[in-house]
Amino acid sequence: MSDYANEFARSIDDPDGFWLDAARGVDWITAPATALDDAAPPIYRWFPDATLNTSVNALDRHVASGRGEQSALIWDSAMTGTVRTYTYAHLLDEVARFAGVLAAQGVGKGDRVVVYMPMIPEAAIAMLACARIGVVHSVVFGGFAAPELATRIDDAEPVAVVTASGGLEPGRVVEYLPLVAAAVEQASATPRTVIVKNRDEVPGSAADQEGWLDWDTEIGSAEPAEPVEVAATDPLYILYTSGTTGKPKGVVRDNGGHAVALTWSMYNVYGISPGEVWWTASDVGWVVGHSYIVYAPLFVGATTVMYEGKPVGTPDAGAFWRVVADHGVSALFTAPTAIRAVRKADPDAAELAKYDVSSLRTLFAAGERLDPDTYEWASKVLGVPVVDHWWQTETGWAIVANLRGLDPMPLKAGSPSVPVPGYDVQILDAEGTPVGAGTEGNIVVKLPLPPATLAGLWRDEERYRSSYLNTFTGYYLTGDSGYIDADGYVFVLGRSDDVINVAGHRLSTGSIEAVVATHPAVAECAVVGIHDDLKGQRPGGYVVLKAGADIDEDTLRAELVARVREEIGAVATFRDVTVVAALPKTRSGKILRKTMRQIVDGEKYTVPSTIEDPAVLEALIDQLGS
């Protein structure tokens, strides 16, 4: 039996023993005697009797072991031409001092802090500083508009917001402070403190608002804070993800299970050892950035690269290869969208040839399906394994992967490979009955989920149960459909709900529809995810106009695009608007979004027996199918 098969079987048959062994990779204040608390299924907890500090595991212990002068974080900004390296000792000092800034403002254990930052080192410092003093952080992607930020402020009720004067995009500057000011004004919950890291390249500073504090001024006089002991089951962070109702879901991650599983994953999933250089080309506003820019690499004593830039255009399609060459990157983790963008701009890999990327031994991809064409191209031009793997905001780390550090397996184009130890992945039909190999169905994971997966939704256990646990008793519902082949490889085919995946970013079609519906000319609308060669999916809007509405389609499109950009943000990449006579619905009034998407994408579809008016669908087929 292979190493993988042995470890997987042990993780399912003896989860307590398996994860207690893995827990030896973590420094505890009170070590766990028990791994799994299964007293109240379907709610499970990990390491219920243990205590620790996440910041200590990321920083202090490496300094204490004599590795304080090793590089911990390399910030490479293609936008400013700046490279800044933090050793473990330097990063620890910055984190402890900013934790002192928060503490001096009365922020303490159990409080929440919203972090609304661009890709600068202070974003990671703020996250780790919160963890140091037992504060729950909630990072909000800097591309979100003020209403989205306000919604998250209302839900998390933070005592402080940590931000910067703005972010840098190719050809434009994004000023954050007007957005933060608008969000604080719109929100019902009012943070006591806003702390601003000023950037010379972006207008605005803390002085623009009464009572706001300047990062550099405060940290310059701060007393370093000592780490605070927290329970393994205490929340580390809240990360909001799109929900099908339009209201974001606050995924809660705990401290103990998070440290154990992410440490295990760096060694076993990614094959990364202390001192190696690891680069996750993502953003700290997304779960990938939480797990694999900030926490996991530092847990194992690796060097993590934080990149401010794009795969193309900063300045060209060689940007990624330049970073790999400059910093000796051993493994790169990015989204398939980024690889497709590089390929589109440089199909013959001429830019790649300019750099020595011999340090790179693996390219990892996740966030959306890695299509076979992109997989084949990247494998050919790089000459290293290109490894797809599949996970979610809710799980926080890979559900299905090819375990490069444990037991590398043959790669199959179109599949992220096999279930990771701890994840008992199964395929069920609509009635909850397991299906055979090669048969498509609902992808589920038999409970309990392994450590580091969501501990629940912030202050909303009912929604946690209804969203993930109630559909199939004893299983976690991933919301994706797919199948498992005869070799045990999992194939993920797509979302089975109304959340779409745009370049690795999960967006609710419901929230976009809510914005579109506010236009005075729109009677009703549907937004569906349609196939996009670059981004995987993009939102397409289909609108029915009010009777007598006098507006041409180009004007309507421009106005709707502007509204979505203002309310959701540019991240939605909303630009496709089609006026239709009517929307196909079931007799209960549900819009047939899946059928619409299949028509637009040219896929096979079945007309539901519950359709209200087949003539509406026929007319739509004639219009959209042409």
- DSSP notation for 579-594: E-S---BBTTS-B-HH
* Mean pLDDT (the chain, rounded): 93
Nearest alpha carbon to residue 49 among 37, 24, 32: 32
Model confidence at 611, pLDDT cuts 50, 70, 90, reads: confident
Say yes or no to pLDDT of 623 above 90. Answer: no
Distance CA(144)–CA(68), nearest Å, equals 36
pLDDT at site 79: 97
Nearest alpha carbon to residue 598 among 510, 494, 521: 494
Contact 149, 115 (CB under 8 A): no
Provide the strand spans (E) within 368-432.
Answer: 386-388, 390-391, 398-401, 418-419, 424-428
Q: What is the mean pLDDT of residues 611-616?
A: 80
Contact 310, 167 (CB under 8 A): no
Model confidence at 504, pLDDT cuts 50, 70, 90, reads: confident
The larger pLDDT score, comparing residue 469 to residue 564, is at 469
Distance CA(604)–CA(606), nearest Å, equals 7
pLDDT at site 243: 57
pLDDT at site 505: 73
Nearest alpha carbon to residue 247 among 521, 459, 443: 459
pLDDT at site 246: 59
| Range of lowest pLDDT (356-370, 487-501, 550-564, 592-606) | 487-501
Domains and CATH numbers, the chain: 21-309 (3.40.50.12780), 502-624 (3.30.300.30)
* Secondary structure (3-state) at 67: helix
The verdict on whether omega for the bond into residue 372 sits within 30 degrees of 0, i.e. cis, is: no
pLDDT at site 610: 60
Q: Tokens at residue 147, please?
A: 């209403």
pLDDT at site 587: 58
* Residue 70 backbone dihedrals phi, psi, to 5 degrees: -70, 145
Say yes or no to pLDDT of 41 above 60. Answer: yes
Place of tokens 């934790």: 99
The larger pLDDT score, comparing residue 604 to residue 388, is at 388
pLDDT at site 220: 95
Distance CA(293)–CA(272), nearest Å, equals 13
| Range of lowest pLDDT (107-121, 194-208, 235-249) | 235-249
In terms of average pLDDT, the best of 126-130, 243-247, 429-433 is 126-130
> Measured between alpha carbons, how far is residue 509 from residues 369, 427, 457, 574 in Å?
19, 25, 20, 11
Q: Tokens at residue 339, please?
A: 């690889």
Say yes or no to pLDDT of 78 above 90. Answer: yes
Query: 457-495 pLDDT, tens per residue?
Result: 999 999 999 999 999 999 999 998 889 999 999 998 776
Nearest alpha carbon to residue 600 among 547, 535, 525, 539: 539
CB atoms within 10 A of CB 47: 30
* Secondary structure (3-state) at 207: helix
Distance CA(508)–CA(278), nearest Å, equals 31
Distance CA(520)–CA(233), nearest Å, equals 48
Provide the strand spans (E) within 465-607.
Answer: 475-484, 490-495, 499-502, 505-508, 522-532, 536-545, 576-579
Distance CA(379)–CA(411), nearest Å, equals 11
Q: What is the mean pLDDT of residues 186-210?
A: 95
Residue 520 CB partners (closer than 8 Å, separation 6+)? 546, 549
The verdict on whether omega for the bond into residue 147 sits within 30 degrees of 0, i.e. cis, is: no
Encoded amino acid at 4, one letter:
Y
Distance CA(47)–CA(54), nearest Å, equals 14
Predicted TM-score (pTM) of this structure:
0.86
Distance CA(543)–CA(596), nearest Å, equals 13
Q: What is the mean pLDDT of residues 417-430?
A: 96
Distance CA(592)–CA(597), nearest Å, equals 9
How far from chain centre, in Å, is Cα 133?
24
Query: 255-272 pLDDT, tens per residue?
Result: 999 999 999 999 999 999
Distance CA(175)–CA(203), nearest Å, equals 7
Contact 421, 285 (CB under 8 A): no
> Measured between alpha carbons, how far is residue 298 from residues 60, 269, 293, 565 in Å?
10, 16, 9, 35
* Residue 12 backbone dihedrals phi, psi, to 5 degrees: -90, -40
Q: What is the mean pLDDT of residues 46-64?
A: 98
Query: 150-169 pLDDT, tens per residue?
Result: 999 999 999 999 999 999 99
Q: Tokens at residue 480, please?
A: 């994706």
Percent of the chain scoring above 90 in pLDDT: 75
Q: What is the mean pLDDT of residues 400-410?
A: 96
